[in-house]
Amino acid sequence: MLNTLIKNYLIDNAKVEANVFDRPDLMVADLALDSLGMVEMLFEIEDRFGFQIDEPMRFRDMRFDDMVKAIEDEVRSHHGGELPDLEALGASAGRP
């Protein structure tokens, strides 16, 4: 669910090609996000889940899947161990 939200955001807003996410070894650096792009992606997550992510640039040297896992862990830590339902938060994680 969070994985889909992040991928969709990057495809729609950072113009990352969807097929890039098929690579199991995909690194965040391979997404060619500049600092502003990285921060804007994280702002989207912060807005949806209601907290601020510390040290956003730490994700740059991670595999994409590891970044998603780290963000999910932070979301859970701010929501009593749960991952809130995106639709309940007013987010549309799915794509047609």
pLDDT at residue 63, rounded to an integer: 97
What CATH number is given to the structural domain containing 74? 1.10.1200
pTM summary value: 0.84
The answer to whether position 84 is within a domain reads no
Instruction: Tell me how far apart the alpha carbons of residues 65 and 69 are, in angstroms, rounded to a whole number.
Output: 6
Look up the domain containing 61 and give its range.
2-78
The answer to whether position 95 is within a domain reads no
pLDDT at residue 92, rounded to an integer: 42
pLDDT at residue 96, rounded to an integer: 37
pLDDT at residue 66, rounded to an integer: 97
pLDDT at residue 93, rounded to an integer: 42
Q: Which two tokens stand for residue 31?
A: 């997404």
The answer to whether position 12 is within a domain reads yes
The answer to whether position 10 is within a domain reads yes
The answer to whether position 87 is within a domain reads no
pLDDT at residue 1, rounded to an integer: 82
**Count: domains in the chain:** 1
Low-confidence ranges of the chain (pLDDT < 70): 86-96
